Structure 1
């Protein structure tokens, strides 16, 4: 049976209105509710289902971030993950942590833990990068199946249905492989109170990027973070002729 590594990220909760800092260096995170990235919840759920189907033997969750990242790891453990690894990255180092750094960390842990499948959410809702799965597969030299909405196990391979612009694409990929979970892959379960209590006794290892030999020096510099421009209010016109006349006046059509 396969061993599965799942990447989870602590992000500002999807229901929170994000506010830019007055100095435009980033967004306000202090005192703001955080939770597990929704796409990563789907990844965790799929890993648990693979174990329930006797396809996976063990699930390991990994999160890179400050001490608070352990909160999402405990959530993953309560959902059914077997053990967790917290890669401690805090302060300015975390502010400039990029998908490339995370990919190198995941790749190193995947090799150390001898896993067969890496599952991550297709993107994080804070930076929307959608890069980690692809780069992790590239670093490892493994097969990859991104934007996955269905997984079926074959003999030493996975048949994956991918969501693409034109519809659905079905691919077969040999193990080991990297998968990114799309929205329609599954519906994540809620952690029950007994499982939340059990999660407190499950192993949670703490390491640093340095322990893995990964350099997290920033490769980008954030110049400014700004709110998007406010949309102007629309107007209602009585008929098509008036609409065309208004568009001509504004220069939108010639």
Structure 2
């Protein structure tokens, strides 16, 4: 392992690094950090806090990973950051640990692309296969579903949820929940339809995509309350059994919303 750690890097004695982990020049690894096999820490990175990192992650350069939360209530509790496998984290990204006021852990799943200057605040729960473009700012307690895409320079309010497969255009301002499968943009965010292209690339059938478009119309084009739209979606599930599971994801998200959803 010593041959893969640059002589100018500082690795605390308590850190647990797999034998093939590479640490670049002037990087610092804290004593409560664990990094699994195949991961690369570029130059000038700081990884500290109670941070667990999975396999084959790349921290490109100048990253700050596992820093304390930017929360005035934080009082030194041993909160955590957990990172899965196969993530790319680019320049000047900040990923903070959680807080005792939430679940105490910030999570990043697998195969995510986190581009330059992204900030992921305390207690965020990010799924897998997401793309979070340059300069996106995530406040605390945000939940992002699998395969979501956030365009550059977008800002997301604390406690907001963004559903799976949603696609958000650049420079958007997100103040309320974004249901799964949607595409849209703006300040404030305005949905414009279903992310059909992305769903098709991920194996959704034309029948399932057509059913989700009907679900979108129920939610945004029929002047229905959310509860009424969900009831109509249940009828849609009976009419389109091949899309039952996909529509259920939408229903579950809507019934679990506490901030309300972004509307037209």
TM-score range, shorter chain: under 0.3
TM-score, normalising length: structure 2: 0.22
TM-score, normalising length: structure 1: 0.22
